[in-house]
Amino acid sequence: MRALIQRVSQASVTVEGACVGEIGGGLLILVCAMQGDSEAEADRLAAKIAKLRVFRDEAGKMNRSLKDSGGAALVVSQFTLAADTARGNRPGFSAAAPPEEGERLYEYFAAQMAAQGIAVATGRFGADMAVALVNDGPVTIWMET
């Protein structure tokens, strides 16, 4: 699985004019299931993100995790993280998991984040989504299993 995480002071997802998910402080997690991924990759990624120390402690150092900080996660599916730009000017997305498998693993990943004790909001798989965020830091990290 691939994920792009951004530390945010707030984030939301809107579909067809309606807000379907929003958080205050925490992480916006854009996630993509890749060909051959399974629950094991989703488990590892969720555990790693939940424990990743990217939040400030009392001294202002990035020393606290999402779990430590009490922040929330906004999990948004984004198959374009599978983009292959090696040839030409049009990216290819064949490395992404097929839609049915991608949706299943996306939902499983969100559930695994919640199982870590984190408040989770989500986007809507396969929808045209408008994602709004205030990047805190900015802190943006690419992760891959």
Residue 55 belongs to domain with CATH number: 3.50.80.10
pLDDT of residue 29: 98
Assigned domain for 144 exists: no
Q: Domain limits at 117?
A: 2-132
Helix (H) or strand (E) holding 93: none
Give the pLDDT confidence score for residue 64 in this predicted structure: 97
pLDDT of residue 93: 96
Q: Are 15 and 34 in contact (CB under 8 A)?
A: no
Inside any domain, residue 76: yes
Which tokens belong to 8?
Answer: 């945010």
**Cβ-Cβ contacts under 8 Å for 99 (sequence gap 6 or more):** 126
Please tell me the predicted confidence (pLDDT) of residue 44: 97
Residues of the chain falling short of pLDDT 70: none
142 in a structural domain: no
Dihedrals phi, psi of 7, to nearest 5 degrees: -75, 130
**Is residue 91 a part of any domain in this protein?**
yes
Supply the pLDDT for residue 71. 96
Q: Which residues are catalytic?
A: 78-80
Q: How far is CA 21 from CA 30, 40, 44, 82, 132, in A?
A: 13, 26, 24, 23, 11
For residue 139, tell me if it sits in a domain.
Answer: no
pLDDT value at residue 28: 98
* DSSP symbol at 98: P
Per the structure, how many domains does the chain have?
1
